[in-house]
């Protein structure tokens, strides 16, 4: 048993020595294999890393160059766009400035028109005042002429009274010197004046006809008076043979003397009456001529005053019409000027408002377009940065994969050593 145990121990020691030798050989072989494999993997990994680095660097350079070119192009485009926008903004600013100048000029024109309208209003007011003064002077002249006309009417009324008195006197004379029915009545002054004429054309002819008729009636009355005075002598002559046949001369003388006295008295009275009537007719004729002359003067004055009155009334009517026309024209011109100024101001304000709205829209659109362009370029830059980041991450991932392969190799080697030890 001891021999078996000794032999078994010897065998076990031999086996253990062989196993230890075998393990040592395996370890040495494993170390050699591991070193060669690691060297080969390291060389391959270095080559792959160099190739990947070269590829990634070349691609990154290409992308970087493309990105730089794109950035330069984008920067140039943005610079051009900004310069164009600045040019447009300067042009828009110039247009706005011109519109502001136009609005200021329109406001100055409106103010000038308002000042000119005020001056025109003042001038028209002065003209109206002058016209009013002229009309007042004409009205004063018309009042003076009306006073003169009333005075002339008063004188005409007095002349009418005088003429009426003369007409009454002549009518009484005609009635006194002639028997009723022998002469025509004196022409009616009142009825002729009531006809509306200042000097009736037929009245003078009627007066002359009445004078001729009155003179004829007076002559007839004289002839009748003479005939009446001579008729007793004719009767006596007819009775003369009888008287002469008388023998008593005393009776004849008494008869003749008795007839001669009344006849002589009647002849004297008739002669005195004829002389008185002749003087009265001459005086009346003179007064009638003076009255006619006065009436002619009054008629001329009345005609002249009537013409002056008509002329002044016409002038007043024309002045009133001119004043109304001037007022209407001035009101129309003032209203038209006000409406035109309001329309011009409204049009200017509307045009300026529309232009400002258009400029604001263009500015907003330009800013919006510029913002869109900036956003687009920003997105492009973000995409380029993301692509570059992805490429760098891929490069780093490749490096991490190699590191993980190395780590896994070392982990497998340690596991295999543990397994061999176990």
Confidence bin at 5 (pLDDT 50/70/90): confident
From residue 317, alpha-carbon distances to 95, 131, 311, 323 in Å are 58, 13, 10, 10
For the record, the structure tokens of 255 come out as 């008869």
Mean pLDDT of 252-265: 57
Pair 220, 275 in one domain: yes
Is 267 within the bounds of a domain? yes
Q: Is 0.75 topped by the overall pTM?
A: no
Longest Cα–Cα distance in the chain: 278
Considering the chain, what is the average pLDDT of its residues?
Answer: 69
Do 220 and 303 belong to one domain? yes
* Residue 132, token pair as written in the block: 């009013």
pLDDT at 152 over 80: no
H or E element: which one contains 331? helix 249-421
Q: Where among 310, 328, 347 does a domain terminate? A: 347
Residue 12 and residue 104 share a domain: yes
> What Cα–Cα distance (Å) separates residue 270 from each residue in 297, 354, 404?
39, 119, 191
CA gap 174, 165 in Å, rounded: 14
Q: How many CB atoms lie within 10 A of CB 147?
A: 10
Residue that wins the pLDDT comparison between 172 and 17: 17
pLDDT at 220: 75
The DSSP H or E segment spanning 12 is helix 2-177
Which pLDDT score, from 0 to 100, does residue 388 have?
61
DSSP 3-state of 416: helix
The reply to whether 176 and 31 lie within a common domain is no
User: What confidence category does residue 239 fall into, taking pLDDT thresholds of 50, 70 and 90?
Assistant: low
- Report, as an integer, the average pLDDT of 305-316: 74
Residue 243: CB atoms within 10 Å: 14
DSSP state letters, 139-204:
HHHHHHHHHHHHHHHHHHHHHHHHHHHHHHHHHHHHHHHS-TTTSPPPP-HHHHHTTT-SS-HHHH
Is a pLDDT exceeding 50 seen at residue 247? no
- pLDDT (average), residues 229-241: 63
In this prediction, residue 25 carries a pLDDT of 83
Q: pLDDT (tens digit, 9 = 90+) per residue, 273-300?
A: 777 767 776 776 777 677 677 767 777 7
Range among 45-54, 137-146, 323-332 with highest mean pLDDT value: 45-54
Strand, coil or helix: 343: helix
Structural domain includes residue 129: no
Confidence of residue 405 (pLDDT cuts 50, 70, 90): very low
Instruction: Determine which of 134-143, 363-372, 401-410 has the lowest per-residue pLDDT on average.
Output: 401-410
Q: What is the pLDDT of residue 43?
A: 84
176 has pLDDT over 50:
yes
Q: Is residue 51 pLDDT above 80, yes or no?
A: yes
Beta-carbon contacts of residue 333 (< 8 Å; ≥ 6 apart): 120
What's the confidence (pLDDT) of residue 392?
56
Looking at the structure, do residues 105 and 224 belong to the same domain, yes or no? no
| 104 and 195 part of one domain | no
% of the chain at pLDDT higher than 90: 0
Count of domains for the chain: 2
Question: pLDDT above 70 covers what percent of the chain?
Answer: 55
Max mean pLDDT range (17-26, 228-237, 245-254): 17-26
Q: Is 389 exposed, middle or buried (0-12, 13-18, 19+ CB in 10 A)?
A: exposed
- State the helix-helix crossing angle for 2-177 and 249-421, rounded to 10 degrees: 180
Structural domain containing residue 282:
134-347
pLDDT at 124 over 60: yes
Cα 76–77–80 angle (5° rounding)?
Answer: 85
Q: How far apart are the first and last CA of the chain?
A: 31
Give the lowest-confidence range in 77-81, 147-151, 315-319, 405-409. 405-409
In contact, 385 and 68? CB cutoff 8 Å: no
Place of tokens 């080559």: 47
112 and 200 in a common domain: no
Q: How far are the Cα atoms of 162, 189, 200, 282 from residue 211, in angstroms, in the given order?
A: 18, 15, 17, 11
Highest mean pLDDT pick, 68-77, 182-191, 340-349, 394-403: 68-77
Residue 394 is assigned to a structural domain of this protein: yes
Residue finishing a domain among 328, 347, 366 = 347
Assign 198 a pLDDT band (cuts: 50, 70, 90): very low
**Looking at residues 164-174, what average pLDDT do you find?**
66
402 has a pLDDT exceeding 50 = no
pLDDT for position 336: 77
Whether 291 and 371 map to the same domain: the answer is no
For residues 66 and 305, is the Cβ–Cβ distance under 8 A? no
Question: Which one, of 349, 355, 338, 358, lies nearest residue 103 by Cα?
Answer: 349
Q: CA-CA distance, 338 to 117, in Å (whole number)?
A: 9
Per-residue pLDDT, averaged over 369-391, amounts to 71
Final residue before a domain boundary, out of 347, 363, 381: 347
Please compute the mean of the pLDDT values over residues 364-380 and round it to a whole number: 73
Residue 102 and residue 242 in one domain: no
Q: 213: number of CA atoms within 13 Å, CB side?
A: 18
**Residue 178 φ/ψ, nearest 5 degrees:** -130, 155
As a whole number, mean pLDDT of residues 182-199 equals 51
Judge whether 361 lies within some domain.
yes
């Amino acid at each position: 048993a001891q021999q078996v145990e000794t032999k078994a121990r010897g065998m076990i020691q031999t086996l253990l020595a062989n196993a230890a030798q075998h393990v040592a050989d395996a370890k040495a072989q494993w170390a050699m294999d591991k070193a060669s494999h690691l060297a080969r993997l390291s060389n391959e990994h270095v080559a792959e890393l160099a190739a990947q680095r070269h590829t990634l660097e070349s691609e990154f350079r290409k992308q970087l160059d493309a990105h730089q070119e794109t950035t330069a192009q984008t920067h140039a485009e943005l610079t051009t766009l900004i310069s164009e926008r600045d040019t447009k903004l300067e042009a828009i600013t110039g247009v706005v400035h011109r519109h502001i100048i136009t609005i200021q000029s329109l406001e100055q024109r409106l103010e000038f028109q308002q000042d000119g309208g005020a001056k025109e209003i003042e001038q028209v007011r002065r003209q109206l005042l002058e016209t009013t003064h002229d009309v007042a002077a004409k009205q004063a002249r018309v009042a003076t002429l009306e006073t003169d006309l009333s005075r002339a009417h008063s004188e005409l009324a007095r002349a009418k009274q005088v003429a009426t008195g003369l007409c009454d006197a002549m009518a009484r004379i005609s009635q006194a010197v002639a028997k009723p029915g022998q002469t025509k009545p004196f022409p009616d002054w009142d009825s002729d004046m009531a006809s509306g004429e200042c000097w009736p054309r037929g009245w003078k002819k009627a007066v002359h006809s009445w004078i001729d008729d009155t003179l004829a009636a007076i002559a007839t009355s004289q002839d009748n008076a003479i005939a009446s005075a001579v008729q007793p002598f004719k009767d006596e002559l007819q009775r003369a043979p009888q008287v002469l046949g008388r023998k008593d001369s005393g009776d004849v003388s008494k008869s003749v003397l008795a007839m001669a006295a009344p006849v002589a008295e009647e002849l004297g009275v008739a002669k005195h009456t004829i002389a008185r009537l002749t003087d009265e007719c001459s005086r009346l004729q003179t007064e009638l001529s003076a009255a006619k002359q006065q009436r002619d003067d009054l008629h001329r004055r009345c005609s002249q005053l009537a013409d002056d009155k008509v002329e002044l009334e016409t002038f007043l009517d024309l002045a009133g019409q001119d004043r109304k026309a001037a007022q209407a024209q001035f009101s129309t011109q003032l209203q038209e000027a006000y409406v035109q100024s309001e329309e011009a101001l409204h049009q200017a304000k509307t045009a300026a408002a529309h232009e400002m709205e258009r400029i604001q829209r263009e500015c907003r659109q330009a800013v919006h377009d510029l913002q869109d362009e900036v956003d687009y370029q920003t997105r492009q830059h973000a995409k380029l940065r993301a692509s570059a980041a992805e490429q760098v991450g891929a490069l780093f991932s490749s490096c991490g994969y190699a590191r993980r392969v190395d780590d896994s190799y070392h982990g497998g080697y340690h596991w295999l050593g543990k397994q061999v030890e176990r």
